[in-house]
């Protein structure tokens, strides 16, 4: 949705006749854009202990997930039909373990100097990194839950800076 001051929000990927369309960014200015997204991976105590000890049968799960997330950010336009292919200047994945909750918070950061935002790249990156953790740990726990995929922060472009409300 787009909201221009004083106007009702609209869905920019839907044209006047209700058909899906790619947004034309040809006349937009290139600006430095950043997006940060997160996903939470909730594991059983056993799977969490194996992952934390780097004792997973499939190898180093966190580094594998990091590479998968970065690759996903780079290929976002191939996965999400109406996303623009854009040049990323940076894509990074960080992991924040919570020993008490048996969770890993996956955080993706993407940057580009382009005409459209990198929110989808960041959200795709953290989603694929979380899915990779599931794949790497499923032998120990098929009940792993991926939750709370969300945008945390974005900057750049006409809409400027935005931050998610704290949960």
Q: Which of 15, 94, 135, 141 is catalytic?
A: 135
If you average pLDDT over every residue of the chain, what do you get? 88
Q: What is the band of 1 on the pLDDT scale with cuts at 50, 70, 90?
A: very low
Domain ranges in the chain are: 32-163
pLDDT at 142 over 90: yes
Q: For residue range 83-131, what is the model confidence (pLDDT) as tens digits?
A: 888 999 999 999 999 999 999 999 999 999 988 889 999 999 999 999 9
pLDDT at 2 over 50: no
Q: What is the band of 4 on the pLDDT scale with cuts at 50, 70, 90?
A: very low
Distance (Å, rounded) from C-alpha 73 to C-alpha 88? 8
Distance (Å, rounded) from C-alpha 25 to C-alpha 21? 12
Note the pLDDT of residue 17. 74
| Superfamily designation of domain 32-163 | Molybdopterin cofactor biosynthesis C (MoaC) domain (3.30.70.640)
Is 135 known to be catalytic?
Answer: yes
- Non-local (6+) Cβ contacts of 84 within 8 A are 22, 23, 25, 77, 114, 115, 116
Q: What is the band of 75 on the pLDDT scale with cuts at 50, 70, 90?
A: very high
């Amino acid at each position: 949705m787009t909201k221009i001051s004083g106007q009702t929000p609209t869905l920019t990927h839907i044209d006047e006749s209700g058909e899906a369309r790619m947004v034309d960014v040809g006349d937009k200015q290139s600006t430095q854009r950043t997006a940060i997204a997160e996903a939470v991976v909730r594991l059983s105590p056993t799977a969490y202990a194996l992952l934390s000890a780097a004792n997973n049968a499939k190898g180093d799960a966190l580094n594998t997930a990091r590479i998968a997330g970065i690759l996903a950010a780079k290929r976002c336009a191939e996965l999400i039909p109406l996303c623009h292919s854009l040049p990323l200047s940076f894509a990074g994945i960080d992991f924040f373990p919570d020993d008490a909750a048996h969770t890993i918070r996956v955080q993706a950061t993407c940057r580009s100097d382009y005409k459209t935002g990198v929110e989808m790249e960041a959200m795709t990156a953290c989603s694929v990194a979380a899915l990779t953790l599931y794949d790497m740990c499923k032998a120990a726990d098929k009940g792993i839950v991926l939750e709370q995929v969300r945008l945390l922060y974005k900057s750049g472009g006409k809409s400027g800076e935005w931050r998610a409300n704290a949960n």
